[in-house]
Structure 1
């Protein structure tokens, strides 16, 4: 080790007893010592519940409750770590199970819950040992280091350390100084071990952090793409579309002027045909442009999801019961995806299902945007290919493909952006899913779910 590096290291070692990091580590140890007591009891309760679940069914619900409480430990220990150590980590992901049985299964198979329970079990012994050694080292060091001072006013044989003469107090003070120099590492090294436990048991692992970064990046890219499309839609509507309308009006005026010209003018008939064809081409181009603009962002969404879906239902030609329960509006990307899904499903219901009634519900409960479209038609929609999810009426289904049946799911087989395959692709672009339940004889239910992370972030 070079002399240039010895100097700073020695200064750091000598200053460690008064360094802020040392006292933050001691404070963190003492605070988490008291916090670790109920957490340790929770871990013991998990052991009891696990043992009971082997012989009695009553132990299993208890274990589910204990694991659910252990998930809270991720946030429980986060605030002292953030306040005193500057260390933070995200909370656990929302459980995906639905219903009591599904949620219980999700809790029992949740890795973060079991790891949090392990941390609850380990934190109390580590905090207790660190607090005991740290406080004892601090007290012994302070009493010994100040021995020459208090030995002046306290009889040598009556103080906390028995002395035979005053010069011995300086020997004790030297030992106290050594203890005080060691004290910071008594509390800081276990804190490093605790950081390791946090990274291993509470914080998401490298793979989970990478997935979170990728999901965040995907959400940002999706939002940016939606913003770009909205800007393109405005430019097409306010610029190109307006110019085509103006051109069409000019051609209409030219057509009227040409029609008033005498028929004996050379080439007049051909000119009239060219003008009429040009005006028709402009009209067709304008119609296609409007379809493109509506495909980018339906104007109906400007009035909100409930109005847009109610309008879709009114135009479908079938009685459609629409119910929208949203705490706040979804993002543009999510709203557009849900709107096109509802439009596609209602269209296919009218064309193929033979249904007489349709229910369309949009909610945002359980941390998920959920669009459910149900008809009372013939059912029997059989997913094929890849993308959508299928089911038999008893569950959410597994991943399957586009519909090839007679219910809601019967879509265009050729267009990648239409039918269930296209809807599934739209949902997956926002980390969502499409599920189909269509037993023979009906009813047919199609559910599109999108995570709340697809919301616009203010």
Structure 2
């Protein structure tokens, strides 16, 4: 940790909002703990008796309903003061009839997780409130010289607060002693934001673990999103292929047909020697040239669907790609176990796009491509010595790249400070 960051921490906007969050959350945590634990214990005890079973069920259902409302309140408070948005869990599904509704409430996993959050949050909230108390202690100790000057002295001196819960309260009875208070206040002021930040970090972990959607729900959402991305990407590729075929090879094939048809007409009208052999030769030459250009465009289109260089494996394909790059590229590829064809193709296009971005936008003079296969994952790392500042922006090339690799549960990591260098890592599974 840099000393400058420690000195600036008490005066940052983040520190103030985190302190406000801890100050507002502590009474809510105490109230929620009491309102949740007492009815929960009472309801559980009553349901074990024959006479109080109905009242016990009512208390349990009420606690579960209140837990969902409390979870929504805590998510809103964190979003407003910390700017941290927790994905909401799936909505509650009501059962049929009174018995079905009670059963659905008692089986509501989201509400039970919210109860766990409310009960586990109290010590974390207490730590946050203790950190806020450090702020107050620091400010009071820093102002002790002013209280000394303006008549705050008593016969026993002015009490100097300490951030520790034990150890007594020392009293300052001399003017030089006030400087000790200022030093203690300054040290406490520097430490307070980090104590509050630790409490906020612990609360963040609890909030994401217990108030957000469960692991299975998150996985289902991720699969739905990646499926939609895969469908959209496939549709876009088909449309692009259709447009390229229509605007390129199709037009040239029509020109070939017209040229050959005109040549046939010139030949069909002649019973003897051809009257315009040069014209026929020109038409045949035009048709030949159009056919050659059509073949070239079809090769380019087929290369866009599956690069022929991948037939020999990913390292050889990347070597060909590096040789064709506009930048000098240093390549290191170690792929002992060949991935599936879909992963190889995606890896090839990822490197191709990252090299193209480096050549177009970064002003780099050279690039380094490193491909390794470790921990059952394929890792691609492309670095350049350009100006940096690469970001995932909506509609940008990196955003499209991120969407494509998500379809196979891949990950994208970007390190690109202003001024460079840029290092972008793509992690792909061995099979789609």
Q: TM-score, normalised by structure 1?
A: 0.43
